[in-house]
Chain A
Amino acid sequence: MPEKLKTNTPVEEKEKVTPLDFLKKHIYDITSYMGLVLVAVLFVIFNNGPRFMYNLSSVLQSASVYAVIALGAVFVYSMGFMDVSIGQQVGVYAILMIIIGNKVGGVPGIIVGFLTVLVLALICGAINGAVAVWLGLPSIVTSLFLMFFFTGAQVLLMESTGLNSINLNQAIRPEGRNPYSIMLVIFVLVLTLIAAYFFKYTKLGKYTRAIGANETTAAQSGVNTIMWRVIAYMALGVCVAIGSFVLLTRTCSAGKGSGSGYAMDVMICLILGGMPLSGGMKSKVSAALVGPFTYVLLSNDLTTMGVDLNWINFVKALIFIAIVLFTCRKKDGVLPR
């Protein structure tokens, strides 16, 4: 604004922010971090013994896969969209990487396998982002299409091998538990930094949040909503491809059931991490880190606490609904809109 418009109006008195106001404002963050601390403390208590390191590394291994995928999913969720085909994609990608890896052999095999999968994931991202817009469909419909498509592909691929599960013929991770754990930690941290950069300091994050908060306003403010929707889905695609690779380093095998349930797991992880399902300005990248560890530690705690395996899903359901009720409910006395 030009200088001359400033006049001598009284300066607004700034009043002090009380600790209570701070608490109210950050209630969601605090809840999700407290949740993580709680399950972590329980984990330490229940695993206090010779198996501590072993359990810790297994927690790290499963949480890493979720975290990698969730880091990409943050961009899609911040637009208020979702992708239900993640699980089936992970399954097919793992199988493909094994088949190609074994055929070509050696390091080139792994690289060719990964690149193939990456291209597929980017195509899927483009379908969810662009085709959905062209056909005038919500992205969840195209992602449902992809889910069924990949379910079929997974079955066909496994039928063609004639086996229930296939193994990778070479080692793709460091020997020993600790070097592998360290590698995973570094890998997830680097990826988090990259995702955080894109989410906080570039157009991608700013635009996806704006689209989630109000798509019309975003479009009228110069955001090419279709293009950024495609880019966000492609970012998720990249992370799904990487996540599939991380899963492969852990299992070195894949089968008909690989990856199943991952789409919902990732969604629950993000919610536990404090991500609003409707997207928008409250979206945050930390949810992709806090959520997966809370989720995996929680499952682990429940098992070690002696909750019957058959009941674990019920307990998870209860905890899930409790968190959603606590974080998503609105208390307006306004008449129905």
Chain B
Amino acid sequence: MSKERIIEIRHMCKNFGPTRALRDVDVSFYRGEIRGLVGENGSGKSTITSILAGMQKATSGEMFYKDQPWAPKTMVDAQRHGISMVLQEANTIPGCTVAENIFAGRFDEFSKFGVISMKKVNEAAQKLLDSFDISHIKATDPIDRYGFEDRKLVEIVRCVSDETEVFVVDETTTALSLEGRQILYKLIHKLRDNNKSVIFISHDMDEILEQCTDLTVLRDGEIKGNLTREEMDAPDAVKRIRYLMVGREIGEAYYRDDYDSSHMPEVALELKNLTFGPIRDFSLTLHKGEIVGFGGLSGCGMHEIGRAAFGLEKLASGSVVREGKEIRTCLEAINSGIGYISKNRDTEALILAGPIADNIVLPSIPALSHATFINPADEKKLSDDEIEGFRIKCNSGKQWVNTLSGGNKQKVSFSKWTAKDSDVIIMDCPTRGVDIGVKQFMYKVIADMKKEGKAIILISEELAELIGMVDKLIIMKDFEVTREFMRSPDLKETDIIEYMI
């Protein structure tokens, strides 16, 4: 069966300063396919699609769309011509209603003599929402009422219309729950059935293998291989794809390989009868050299526990105690040796518009300061050590964080606390949106931290990761603990899921 080509990219290169993100890429996309794009962070997946969708320009190379030369001026321009993209980051306008968000920039369609009929806008928006099976979102509600996940769905509704010919999904699924994912999967299959083209970027290998009809693997800005559906169904497909992505054998060591769930006797952190918000009377004792995991659906309260342990939540009663002292603010938490890796990496954990080095040393500044003076050489040494230790892909510590890929950003977020040598580290979704190579690396870091006697709270939405890494697993549902599991080689995801939903 010969498929109709819709997009052709020839000899595309893209440089960010001295970094070469794409090197002479040739790739075509066809109608009636869901093409997966996989590769490690920084391999160039998002770069290709963002150029295609008009977010940025290529340094050199040609693009053809429906056999015509293609050079979109902006994302709006691209969308008007039928190429839509949903981004990884949140992209809704706060302070507006859902309907206003959906039809932003298209109000002319509803105006008569310059007066916009908001009634019509709202009706049209609700109809659209209903057609996507997300009737629980109301068009007239302010967008801020909805969580990240629902806002993402609104974005999808905004992007896709009858004119959409090419739909790009850039790591959107990491933000979505199972339900949201199902809606998205249904949508992309519908588009495919209508002879449209879908480009699907994800780090979730299972998802890629389930949903995509074709697969393209990238590494270091070059195409390393294309797989057909038949090849994706081959028994060793995952191994082959991983090899193409990483360029070497990943090996078996992925999660912790020991089942030794012992820890030191000393208590590192105590949560005593915490009551705040919807959480009632929660207690936990964390020891040195212990990894305690939290699992559950995203609204189950586990993220809030992490925040409370770092002094970010106002407690109605109860206390967080470390080494005999009560922790009331995050400043006290940091000073007592607690570190926190927020799940909101770009808004809370990192200063995106700032150098890598400044981000890494920020928590360590009090230690570097001697009689007000902070020696730049000390700062450089500290940050360079971390950059080297974590193998953060950059030209120097002066490079800005917003030029890094997701995995490397996350490494910076980790390194802030290793530089400070914090003894208790609270990690909230530390491997979200991070590829296998970096994940494997981070698991090793976490395992090593345990051996060094650090106490770790690992909050995650990925069960496999929790089972693979933690000593004690606490499962939560509706702000309550439903079950605790101890580390064991026999622990299976299926044993746990029933306590989550």
Question: Contacting B330 at CB < 8 Å: which of A198, A220, A332, A336?
Answer: A220
Q: Which of B236-286 contact A (CB under 8 A)?
A: none
Question: Contacting A5 at CB < 8 Å: which of B20, B389, B416?
Answer: B389
Would B55 and A4 count as touching, CB distance under 8 A?
Answer: no
Would B351 and A281 count as touching, CB distance under 8 A?
Answer: yes
Would B366 and A210 count as touching, CB distance under 8 A?
Answer: no
**Can you name the residue of chain B whose Cβ is closest to the Cβ of A278?**
B353
Q: Which of chain B's residues have a CB closer than 8 A to the CB of A161?
A: none
Would B369 and A218 count as touching, CB distance under 8 A?
Answer: no
Assembly CA distance A278 to B342 (angstroms): 24
Q: Which of chain B's residues have a CB closer than 8 A to the CB of A16?
A: 18
Q: Which of chain B's residues have a CB closer than 8 A to the CB of A308?
A: none
A321 at interface (Cβ–Cβ under 8 A)?
no
Would B17 and A202 count as touching, CB distance under 8 A?
Answer: no
**A4-B448, A222-B363 known; A333+B348 contact, CB < 8 A:** no
**A14-B18, A201-B374, A220-B348 known; A334+B354 contact, CB < 8 A:** no
Assembly CA distance A12 to B390 (angstroms): 14
**Can you name the residue of chain B whose Cβ is closest to the Cβ of A22?**
B17
Would B331 and A224 count as touching, CB distance under 8 A?
Answer: yes
Would A12 and B351 count as touching, CB distance under 8 A?
Answer: no
A310 at interface (Cβ–Cβ under 8 A)?
no
Q: Which of chain A's residues have a CB closer than 8 A to the CB of B55?
A: 332-334
Question: Contacting A6 at CB < 8 Å: which of B54, B104, B389?
Answer: B389
Q: Which of chain B's residues have a CB closer than 8 A to the CB of A337?
A: 91, 93
The 8 A CB mask of B347-373 against A (1 = contact, 0 = none) is 111111111001000110110010011
**Can you name the residue of chain A whose Cβ is closest to the Cβ of B341?**
A220
Q: Which of chain B's residues have a CB closer than 8 A to the CB of A2?
A: 389, 448, 452
**A14-B395, A221-B416 known; A336+B105 contact, CB < 8 A:** yes
Q: Which of chain B's residues have a CB closer than 8 A to the CB of A217?
A: 347-351, 362
Assembly CA distance A207 to B365 (angstroms): 9
**A203-B369, A210-B362 known; A336+B104 contact, CB < 8 A:** yes
Assembly CA distance A94 to B358 (angstroms): 40
Q: How many residues of B contact A (CB 8 A)?
A: 62
Q: Which of chain A's residues have a CB closer than 8 A to the CB of B376?
A: 200-201
Q: Which of chain B's residues have a CB closer than 8 A to the CB of A333?
A: 54-56, 72-77
**Can you name the residue of chain B whose Cβ is closest to the Cβ of A16?**
B18
Assembly CA distance A221 to B366 (angstroms): 11
The 8 A CB mask of B145-189 against A (1 = contact, 0 = none) is 000000000000000000000000000000000000000000000
The 8 A CB mask of A137-180 against B (1 = contact, 0 = none) is 00000000000000000000000000000000000000000000
Q: Which of chain B's residues have a CB closer than 8 A to the CB of A268?
A: none
A322 at interface (Cβ–Cβ under 8 A)?
no
Q: Which of chain B's residues have a CB closer than 8 A to the CB of A220?
A: 310, 312, 330, 340, 342, 348-349
B33 at interface (Cβ–Cβ under 8 A)?
no
Would A280 and B353 count as touching, CB distance under 8 A?
Answer: yes
**Can you name the residue of chain B whose Cβ is closest to the Cβ of A217?**
B351
Would B312 and A213 count as touching, CB distance under 8 A?
Answer: no
The 8 A CB mask of B42-77 against A (1 = contact, 0 = none) is 000000000000111000000000000000111111
Assembly CA distance A282 to B445 (angstroms): 33
Q: Which of chain A's residues have a CB closer than 8 A to the CB of B386?
A: 1
**Can you name the residue of chain A whose Cβ is closest to the Cβ of B373?**
A201
Q: Which of A5-39 contact B (CB under 8 A)?
A: 5-6, 9, 12, 14-17, 21, 25
**Can you name the residue of chain B whose Cβ is closest to the Cβ of A205?**
B374
Question: Contacting A213 at CB < 8 Å: which of B72, B348, B353?
Answer: B353
Q: Which of A218-245 contact B (CB under 8 A)?
A: 218-224
Would B362 and A223 count as touching, CB distance under 8 A?
Answer: yes
B381 at interface (Cβ–Cβ under 8 A)?
no
B335 at interface (Cβ–Cβ under 8 A)?
yes
Assembly CA distance A70 to B458 (angstroms): 47
**A2-B389, A5-B389 known; A222+B334 contact, CB < 8 A:** yes
**Can you name the residue of chain A whose Cβ is closest to the Cβ of B73?**
A333
Would B353 and A281 count as touching, CB distance under 8 A?
Answer: yes
B431 at interface (Cβ–Cβ under 8 A)?
no
B444 at interface (Cβ–Cβ under 8 A)?
yes
Q: Which of chain A's residues have a CB closer than 8 A to the CB of B20?
A: 15
B490 at interface (Cβ–Cβ under 8 A)?
no
Would A5 and B445 count as touching, CB distance under 8 A?
Answer: yes
Would B374 and A336 count as touching, CB distance under 8 A?
Answer: no
B415 at interface (Cβ–Cβ under 8 A)?
yes
Assembly CA distance A281 to B312 (angstroms): 25
Would B385 and A203 count as touching, CB distance under 8 A?
Answer: no
Residue of A6, A203, A280, A336 contacting most chain B CB atoms (<10 Å): A336
Would A21 and B389 count as touching, CB distance under 8 A?
Answer: no
A216 at interface (Cβ–Cβ under 8 A)?
yes
Question: Contacting B393 at CB < 8 Å: which of A12, A21, A210, A336?
Answer: A12
Assembly CA distance A336 to B395 (angstroms): 31
For the complex formed, measure the closest distance between the CB of A222 and the CB atoms of chain B, giving whole angstroms: 4
Would A281 and B389 count as touching, CB distance under 8 A?
Answer: no
For the complex formed, measure the closest distance between the CB of A147 and the CB atoms of chain B, giving whole angstroms: 29
Would B385 and A1 count as touching, CB distance under 8 A?
Answer: yes
Assembly CA distance A43 to B393 (angstroms): 48
Would B372 and A203 count as touching, CB distance under 8 A?
Answer: yes
**Can you name the residue of chain B whose Cβ is closest to the Cβ of A200?**
B376
**A16-B18, A337-B93 known; A210+B351 contact, CB < 8 A:** yes
B391 at interface (Cβ–Cβ under 8 A)?
yes
Assembly CA distance A213 to B20 (angstroms): 27
15 chain-A/chain-B pairs, Cβ below 8 angstroms:
A1-B386, A5-B389, A16-B18, A198-B372, A202-B369, A202-B373, A210-B351, A214-B352, A214-B354, A217-B350, A220-B348, A221-B334, A222-B362, A281-B354, A335-B91
B residues engaging A (CB < 8 A)? 17-20, 54-56, 72-77, 91, 93, 104-105, 310, 312, 330-331, 334-335, 340, 342, 347-355, 358, 362-363, 365-366, 369, 372-376, 385-386, 388-391, 393-395, 400, 415-416, 418, 444-445, 448, 452
Told that A2-B452, A6-B388 touch, could you supply 12 new A-B pairs with CB distance under 8 A?
Answer: A1-B389, A5-B448, A9-B391, A201-B375, A217-B348, A217-B350, A219-B331, A220-B349, A222-B331, A222-B334, A335-B76, A335-B105
